Structure 1
Amino acid sequence: MAERDLVPPQPPALEPFTGGKLFDTVFTRGMALVEETAAYLDGPGRDQSRGLSREASLTYSAWSMELTTRLMQAASWLVMQKAVRDGDMRREDAGARKYRIRRDEPALDPSTDEGKTLPPRFLELVGRAEALFEQVCRLDEALYQPARPSAASNPVSEQMAALQKAAEAGAFDPLMVWRRAK
């Protein structure tokens, strides 16, 4: 039996994002926002929506559905990242298209209604939820999108690569140069 067979397998290295404080902060704030929004919509929000005009009531209903959908998508993504961090899910599986999160619809813009018809607390929750959703979309893209090559070439990087290649080939080794001259 080889010595390497006696060494227990090491756990996979944590992703810099999921293993760090940023993830813990985003996760905690995201889950708290989900709970806060649910409590508002089931309590004070429900009461406040009854006093809205017909048009405002329709907007409130539509935005409430979009708000809860986006919060649930963000929460699901965060829970999945926690599962990756905890070793309950493979990173490759989490990168599957069905688990990815992106913005397909335009963001709700609470500033278009401020001071008009919808309750200020509702608008504040909409703004925070949209910010969370946008942050999660950016994190998803950063974690799971392959690096894109830059459109414009970088002459300095190209020169550095050429110098590195020459060095590896022995171009700067005086003995190598001398041997070639013989």
Structure 2
Amino acid sequence: MATILREPDVAAKWVDALYIEAMVLADEARSYFDNQARDDRLALVPADRVALSCESLRVTTRLMHVIAWLLNQRAVRAGELTRAEAATPERRLGDAAPPDADLLPRLPEAAAEIIQASSDLYDRVRRLDHGAIADEAPASPARGLISRLERSL
């Protein structure tokens, strides 16, 4: 089952920060692949040109899955979706292929950085979706101490 972050303030900050990061990265990727990548492709061998085009599609896919998941989380917070609705399979983070690790060293630095950044962002959101942040907030050490004190009194 998909994890919906439970601590409202923490969840809001995580989701908002990740959303901003995703939107900025999407804009950087669009700008790079629409402009500079055209020139950068000319320096590549034909097979790597095709591979760069494929990687640009993977970047777009990863970012769109991330943005969609984050928008669902924001919709829960806004009361537009219930937690149960946001946890359905169609609202989970979609699958996206990882980058071709063998290709990255052969690509222009700017392309490799965008590809890697999109993969890193996707991996972080995937961990959130798959429960790396627990459904229940972890007990703080202070709360544990207070609880032990209450039981002993």
Calculate percent identity across the aligned residue pairs: 28
Residue identity in the other structure for 1:16: E
Contact in 2 for aligned 1:15/1:85 (Cα 8 Å) = no
Q: How many matched pairs? A: 131
User: Residue 39 of structure 2 aligns with which residue?
Assistant: 47
User: Residue 130 of structure 1 aligns with which residue?
Assistant: 119
- After TM superposition, the score normalised by the length of structure 2 is 0.73
User: Any residues of structure 2 matched to 1:69-148 within 5 Å, and which?
Assistant: 69-101=61-93, 103=95, 105=97, 107-110=98-101, 112-116=102-106, 118-142=107-131
SS of 1:142's equivalent in the other structure is: coil
- After TM superposition, the score normalised by the length of structure 1 is 0.63
Higher helix share: 2
Cα gap change, 1:137/1:144 in structure 2, threshold over 3 Å: closer, same or farther?
same
Q: CA RMSD in A?
A: 2.7
Structure 1 residue 46: Cα displacement:
2.6
Query: How far does the alpha carbon of each residue in 1:26-76 deviate from its partner, in whole angstroms, 9 at most, with x for none?
Result: 121111111111111111123322442211111101111111111111111
Query: How far does the alpha carbon of each residue in 1:125-145 deviate from its partner, in whole angstroms, 9 at most, with x for none?
Result: 011000010111111112899
Structure 2, unmatched stretches of 5+, are 137-153
Contact in 2 for aligned 1:103/1:137 (Cα 8 Å) = no
User: Residue 170 of structure 1 aligns with which residue?
Assistant: none
Contact in 2 for aligned 1:33/1:129 (Cα 8 Å) = yes
Query: In terms of Rg, which structure is larger?
Result: 1
Structure 1, unmatched stretches of 5+, are 1-13, 148-182
